[in-house]
Amino acid sequence: MKKTLVALAVTAFAASASAVTVYDAEGSKVDIDGSIRMVVERANSETKNSLGTITEKKRTHTGIRNAGTRIGVTARHQLAEDFYALGRVEVRFDKVDKFDKDGNDLPSEDGFGSAYAKRAYVGLGSKQYGQVTFGRQVTIADDLSQSVDYEYGINPKGDYIVDAASQVVRYDYNGIENLQLSAHYAFAQKRDANGEVLVDELQNAFGVGALYTVDNWDLRAAYGHSSFKTQNGDDKNRKDGVLASVGYTAGDLTLSVDGGYRHEKKLGEKGNAFYVSPGFAYQVVPASKVYGNYLYERASIKDVNKEKTHGFLLGVDYKFHKQVVAFVEGKYIRTKGFDKNATGEGYTYNGRTTDKAIGVGMRVYW
């Protein structure tokens, strides 16, 4: 899968099927793309303690909601024979405007809130030297998954490496056929009224990654480091993560395995986590495919606690038109927690959380 820099500027940051060119003259081009995304779903999330008593239950309902509706504008201007400037703004409509008495998010029932800029960046590029972009955008980690999903993705890659942020510098090089190399740096995201980074929020992050295809194989890998603000500047609060993905296509069947590992240190405590997520997609007929994946994740804080997560996702889609797709998709995720015994030997079960959802959705692109 060879990606050009121009394609990267549009497709790597916008999941639209096509775009409408509204201006194309004198080396300048402006495209508008977007999609309306809706889903009818029933979802249920609950937490039980070690005795089986429900301690928290929410989102038990059936309804219709926004599922990522967006509008994007991409501008590209040819500066010289091999150099160009670009910019993109992508607006979404799910910003939270309401909060409860405790300050927690209180989203609208249908998922539509105020419009806001989900992505906004500018950059310079060259086929020979690569492309650099600045602003609110995704990182290479956003591509580090080959499992298929429309709404209920269960891959936790963003918990291992920063996959999107509001202040990112990103560089991509596509000068070698079938190979994309990328690096990024993210600045602090949230500050108080005095300009200080909020405690426990991201202070900075960087990462590198590569995507490579050969014959029927699709290989991807990335490394990332994140630092978080601490109350005491001498304390350490950081995370190192690695992501990898392997995919193979044979006819109408695609098989993939996604995985990741991270190591964390916070206030003297050390933690580790890893996950593995095999998946498949089978093109039953040209207009329809079935797909699914499984997730196993294990996270632990040394001598404190550990968690084990199992998840399943299964779906089927149907394309009525190249720009119209409908799907049925469901997920089930269960996480069990265990506390380290006071004796230091073994663990004791402390409860579990389940998250279930099934939805019928539709997307209309332009």
Q: Going from the N-terminus, what domains does the chain have, and what CATH number goes with each?
A: 5-365 (2.40.160.10)
- Predicted confidence (pLDDT) at residue 3 exceeds the cutoff of 70: no
pLDDT of the residue at 59: 65
* CB atoms inside a 10 Å sphere around CB 22: 10
Per-residue pLDDT band for 7 (boundaries 50, 70, 90) equals very low
C-alpha span between 219 and 217 (Å, rounded) = 6
Classify burial at 192, counting beta carbons within 10 Å of its beta carbon; exposed 0-12, middle 13-18, buried 19 or more: exposed
Cβ proximity of 73 and 89 under 8 Å: yes
Handedness of CA 252, 139, 222, 4 (dihedral sign): positive
Distance of CA 146 to the CA centre of its chain: 12
Q: What is the pLDDT of residue 52?
A: 86
List C-alpha distances in Å: 211 to 90, 183, 190, 266, 271: 24, 12, 31, 31, 28
Cα(129)–Cα(182) distance, rounded to whole angstroms? Answer: 12
Band of residue 151 on the pLDDT scale cut at 50, 70, 90: very high
Task: Kindly report, residue by residue over 280-318, the tens digit of the pLDDT.
Answer: 999 999 999 999 999 999 999 998 999 999 999 999 999
Report phi then psi at 9, rounded to 5. Answer: -60, -30
Q: Which is it for strands 217-228 and 54-66: parallel, antiparallel or unpaired? A: unpaired
Render pLDDT for 12-39 as a digit per residue (tens, 0 to 9). 334 344 789 999 999 999 999 999 999 9
Say how far apart CA 19 and CA 30 lie, in whole Å. 10
Cα–Cα dist 349/339, whole Å: 6
- Specify the amino acid at residue 30: V
The token pair that represents 269 in the structure block: 């405590």
Determine contact, residues 247/218, Cβ cutoff 8 Å: yes
Q: Is 177's pLDDT higher than 90? A: yes
Is there a contact between 38 and 67 (Cβ–Cβ < 8 Å)?
yes
Main-chain phi, psi angles of 5, to 5 degrees: -65, -35
What digits encode the pLDDT tens for the residues 314-337? 999 999 999 999 999 999 999 999
**Can you give the pLDDT at residue 234?**
64
pLDDT in tens, 42-71: 999 999 888 888 888 876 678 899 999 999
pLDDT of residue 228: 92
**Mean pLDDT score, 194-212:** 93
Kindly give, in sequence order, each residue whose CB lies less than 8 Å from that of residue 333, ignoring residues fewer than 6 positions away.
154, 295, 309, 310, 311, 312, 354, 355, 356
Cα dihedral 148, 154, 155, 158, rounded to 10, equals 120
Report helix, strand or coil for 157. helix
Q: Are strands 164-173 and 130-138 parallel, antiparallel or unpaired?
A: antiparallel
Q: Residue range 248-253: average pLDDT?
A: 97
What the block records as the tokens of 175 is: 């000068």
Is there a contact between 366 and 34 (Cβ–Cβ < 8 Å)? yes
